[in-house]
């Protein structure tokens, strides 16, 4: 429908800084309907003017990936994005830490659950557990109460029980020097029973939604195993 362009108001997100800055264009109605955080920016609660909103601390590639799913491909979801170690290498691999941080900032609870499901699914599928580099990045970038932290703690507990090494000794020593509370977190956060967290995809263990809200992640999981 060419005529519909008349009804479309375009807005721009100016993402990143300096040579990394990019200008991304979106349909205002669609963007605001999907991301209330951005709607608030365009409605004047945050600095935004002339249909432009500035996101200097975000990375354009990550913003583009997240919005491509939210606005145009919600049915396929995060799982559609190319991932490290996957078969599809069309385009940039999604970075769970980066998208998780962005979804947290934008308060997209359904997407946070979906990120966790996709990550668990990919680790399960690749027979992979979080290694120390992954754990370090989680501690660097995800807060203590996040599901990403919970996942790595459960995974390390499981790996130790099974005698699976999660990285080299030197790497671990350095990580524990930087994060001396890790062992305490491990004792305090996880259940005494050792469980493979990747096998818990069909539960809501790493989800943030409450019982009143539908489980978006489980819906995707159920569809995939049918």
Residue selected from 40, 79, 200, 204 as contacting Zn ion according to rule CB under 5 A = 204
User: Which of residues 136 and 207 has its CB atom nearest to Zn ion in the complex?
Assistant: 207
User: Which of residues 190 and 215 has its CB atom nearest to Zn ion in the complex?
Assistant: 215
Residue 151: CB minimum distance to Zn ion, A:
14
Q: CB-based burial of residue 106 (10 Å sphere; 0-12 exposed, 13-18 middle, 19+ buried)?
A: buried
Q: Does 207 sit near Zn ion (CB under 5 A)?
A: yes
| Whether 185 contacts 153, CB under 8 Å | yes
> Looking at 70-78, 85-93, 98-106, 202-210, which segment touches Zn ion (CB under 5 A)?
202-210
Count of C-beta atoms within a 10 Å radius of residue 145: 8
CA distance 189 to 204: 17
User: Which of residues 13 and 118 has its CB atom nearest to Zn ion in the complex?
Assistant: 118
Residue 1: CB minimum distance to Zn ion, A:
37
Sequence-distant (6+) residues with CB within 8 A of 173 are none
Q: Does 150 sit near Zn ion (CB under 5 A)?
A: no
User: Which of residues 54 and 207 has its CB atom nearest to Zn ion in the complex?
Assistant: 207
Sequence-distant (6+) residues with CB within 8 A of 65 are 81, 92, 94, 99
Q: At what angle do helices 182-189 and 147-162 cross, to 10 degrees?
A: 90
User: Which of residues 200 and 204 has its CB atom nearest to Zn ion in the complex?
Assistant: 204
| Whether 10 contacts 79, CB under 8 Å | no
CA distance 111 to 77: 9
Residue 173: CB minimum distance to Zn ion, A:
37
Residue 92: CB minimum distance to Zn ion, A:
28
Residue 195: CB minimum distance to Zn ion, A:
17
Tokens of 39: 């709607």
Q: Does 215 sit near Zn ion (CB under 5 A)?
A: yes
Count of C-beta atoms within a 10 Å radius of residue 34: 19
User: Which of residues 190 and 220 has its CB atom nearest to Zn ion in the complex?
Assistant: 220
Residue 203: CB minimum distance to Zn ion, A:
8
Q: Does 109 sit near Zn ion (CB under 5 A)?
A: no
Positions touching Zn ion (CB under 5 A) are 204, 207, 215, 218
């Amino acid at each position: 429908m060419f005529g519909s362009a008349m009804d479309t108001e375009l807005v721009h997100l100016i993402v990143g800084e300096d040579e990394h800055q990019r200008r991304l264009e979106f349909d205002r109605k669609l963007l605001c309907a999907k991301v209330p955080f951005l709607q608030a920016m365009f409605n004047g609660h945050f600095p935004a003017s002339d249909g432009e909103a500035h996101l200097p601390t975000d990375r354009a590639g990550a913003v583009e990936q997240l919005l491509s799913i939210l606005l145009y491909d919600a049915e396929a979801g995060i799982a559609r994005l190319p991932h490290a170690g996957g078969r599809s290498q069309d385009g940039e691999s999604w970075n769970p830490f980066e998208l998780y941080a962005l979804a947290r900032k934008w308060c997209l609870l359904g997407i946070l659950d979906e990120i966790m499901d996709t990550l668990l699914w990919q680790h399960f599928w690749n027979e992979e557990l979080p290694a120390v580099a992954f754990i370090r990045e989680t501690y660097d970038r995800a807060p203590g109460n996040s599901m990403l932290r919970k996942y790595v703690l459960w995974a390390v507990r499981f790996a130790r029980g099974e005698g699976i090494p999660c990285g080299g000794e030197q790497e671990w020593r350095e990580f524990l020097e930087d994060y001396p509370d890790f062992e305490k977190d491990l004792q305090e956060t996880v259940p005494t029973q050792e469980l493979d967290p990747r096998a818990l995809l069909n539960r809501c263990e790493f989800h943030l939604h409450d019982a009143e809200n539908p489980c978006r992640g489980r819906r995707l999981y159920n569809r995939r195993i049918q």
